Chains A and B, each alone.
Chain A
């Protein structure tokens, strides 16, 4: 069982919930514990849709195939159940929650992972939060700011990684977390991911990106290319380098809608 994938996506099809628009057209993907998979693909190819279907976004309706997480049928679970089971998605476009501080937000999120009647120890929490913020080189005062309210693009991304670092999910799906980060921030964020994996080597990451650059810092085991709702190639880190050089043109021709 050692080699059983933590996430197994098979023949996954999904459409926009209230439209007749199919976006994922049969996606296959298997991530083993501790593996890092990168997904690259042109704009509009379905990367975010895949991430959101894994996380359970109600705007999409799976129409075929399956998604298993640690042997459990993810598609049968509510988004919050998936989160508590250990799935985390770092959003491409994080949402503002006015009036709710990051600290309060994360405290509430951690509390949901405890048994009924169990209370989160606030000192432990404070310690964890501060430690994580330090690792991500964030000012402690940031914890009191309302979630994503008035954040710069880079701050929003860093906040997503902070959440990941505090919630310690078994599987983190990172949707373009590297976009909009300056070079220093990119290293800090990559460092955050690597620290988490050093602490628990069986954590897995599905990393969606447009840029080979981040893969120099977070070394992927597998790189997938997605075009028009299908994974059209999978290979080692060299796939990303080739893409950087050649672009998507060939894939596009071969896999037109």
Chain B
């Protein structure tokens, strides 16, 4: 099995992008997970003692917690985990050559309009990013302002105090089984610090950090936005991730200090054999503003509910999410907003598209604690079903302990109607183009929030997906 794994598709349907790879990594831990493996990971990273202890403790928590019984079907996951390599040294992960990347993958990138250099990164061949020059000048600008934008490993090495003070404070290992797992075996991800008052025009993009660990299987990101700062962080892209992993479990912790504004955008398209279980949470302090913009495509099962804990008076949280469930895929996504302080406000807008036998569920929590006077929250979730076999459900949990709170919830389910299709076709669009246009219109309220190049990629991806859904 090792070294010759069949990769089933790239999050695009019907295994049409499936292929085989022969790369043999130089170092990885043996399959499965125990204390010895955690020690190996920590040693490889040359970590301080406290981090190793944290990891080992997290491992015990992970082992003691049962698999969640809600959300998606995790019954096959135990098996998958027994065969998972919990750590593969990233440089070796990058050892494929561009020539080995199958033609159809290259074609996918071509059609998505992904720039050459990015394609190489996505395909895991680890070439230099062509815009390195751009990155360097940005980096200088950022450094001058005291911004830290490092890999999580470098964050721990270079900024030990800042790191230790915040790491695990937003999402403790004991939060849930997968947060515990991530806390035990994390590898890769970003460490970001924006000093008070600093405003960044250009988004921090994870792409920029090449030659470093990029998207680990157990990525861990820690972001601290200082008082009154403004910034935008972007992770991922719409292109299918070329990966042999069958399990991805990230943890993203964000601290948005007083009066700061932070937006975290992530668009990810996983191969359709993948379990994608991510915990992402922001602590939003007084007068601060946090936005999650979350796009989930592909995977076998995604369980992901970005959350905002509105801790200080006047804090605001927003969650915008798009989920696309193709054949055989289940997107169990949504958002959580927790109102702890007075005059906090939140909004969740969730749009899902299910195609073929795809299933998308909206799962959301709105909790207002006693004393969070005049808290306001609004949830809107809209589902679009492409085929008769597609499925959607909604699980909104609302817990209000404060009388003066106002909470709204609205859910809609629509199908692509024959009349709509005919209308567009009578203007010259073929069936796939017509469907793509309807889907694009459906996600427009969220897509318009995306950086332009992402919106363009997303549109192209939808076009490709719709081509596959027509007779």
A-facing residues in B390-446 (Cβ within 8 Å)? 417-420, 422-431, 433-434, 437-438, 440-445
Contacts of B438 in A (CB 8 A): 97, 100
Among candidates A83, A96, A99, A113, residue contacting B426 with C-beta atoms closer than 8 Å: A83
Does A84 lie at the interface of the complex (its beta carbon under 8 Å from any beta carbon of B)? Answer: yes
| 7 closest Cβ pairs, A-B complex | A99-B441, A99-B444, A100-B441, A112-B428, A83-B428, A79-B425, A109-B427
A170 → chain B closest CB, angstroms: 13
Q: Which of A58-112 contact B (CB under 8 A)?
A: 58-59, 78-80, 82-84, 88-89, 91, 94-100, 104-105, 108-110, 112
Give every chain A residue within 8 A of B418 (Cβ-Cβ). 58-59
24 A-B residue pairs with CB within 8 Å: A56-B426, A58-B422, A78-B430, A79-B422, A79-B425, A80-B428, A80-B429, A80-B430, A80-B431, A82-B426, A83-B426, A88-B426, A88-B427, A91-B426, A95-B419, A95-B420, A96-B420, A97-B420, A97-B441, A98-B442, A100-B438, A100-B441, A105-B427, A109-B427
Does A138 reach chain B (CB closer than 8 Å)? no
A84–B441 touching, CB < 8 Å: no
Chain A positions near chain B (C-beta within 8 angstroms): 55-59, 78-80, 82-84, 88-89, 91, 94-100, 104-105, 108-110, 112-113, 146, 163, 167
Which parts of B164-219 form the interface with A (CB within 8 Å)? none
- The answer to whether A100 and B444 touch across the interface, beta carbons within 8 angstroms, is yes
CA gap between A104 and B440 in the complex, in Å: 11
The CA-CA distance from A185 to B422 in the complex, in Å, is 27
Residues of B within 8 A of A88 (CB): 426-427
- Give the contact-size bracket for chain B: 20 to 34
Instruction: Pick the contact of B441: A56, A58, A98, A167 (CB < 8 A).
Output: A98
Distance of B198 from chain A, by nearest CB (Å)? 35
Point out the residues of chain B lying under 8 angstroms from A104, CB to CB.
437
Q: Which B residues are in CB contact (< 8 Å) with A113?
A: 428
Contact B429 A108 (CB under 8 A): yes
For the complex, what is the distance from the CA of A83 to the CA of B428, rounded to whole Å?
A: 5
A99 touches B430 (CB 8 A): no
| B327 → chain A closest CB, angstroms | 24
Nearest B residue to A91, CB-CB: B423
Chain A's closest residue to B382 (CB) is: A98
Q: Which residue of chain A has the shortest Cβ distance to B444 in the bound complex?
A: A99
Distance between Cα atoms of A56 and B419 in the complex (Å): 12
Question: CA–CA, A104 to B433, complex, Å?
Answer: 13
Which B residues touch A96, using CB under 8 A? 420
Assembled-state Cα–Cα distance A99/B444 (Å):
6
B417 — which chain A residues lie within 8 A by C-beta? 95
CB distance B437 to A146 under 8 Å? no
Query: Whole-angstrom distance from the CB of B200 to the nearest CB of chain A?
Result: 30
User: Contact: A163 with B427, CB < 8 Å?
Assistant: yes
Contacts of A55 in B (CB 8 A): 422, 426
Which one of B437, B444, B445 lies within 8 Å of A108 (CB-CB)? B437
Assembly CA distance A100 to B423 (angstroms) = 13
Tell me which residues across on chain A come within 8 A of B445, comparing CB atoms: 99
The answer to whether A112 and B429 have CB atoms under 8 Å apart is yes
Distance in Å from the Cβ of A78 to the closest Cβ of chain B? 7
A99 interface neighbour in B422, B427, B428, B442, Cβ under 8 Å: B442
Interface-centre pick from B428, B440, B445 (highest chain A CB count, 10 A): B428
Beta-carbon contact of B425 and A100 below 8 Å: no
Q: Is the CB of B422 within 8 A of A83?
A: no
Inter-chain contacts of A109 with B (CB < 8 A): 427-429
Contact A100-B429, Cβ < 8 Å, known A59-B418, A95-B420:
no
Chain B residues whose CB sits within 8 angstroms of the CB of A91 once the complex forms = 423, 426
Q: Are A97 and B422 in contact (CB under 8 A)?
A: no
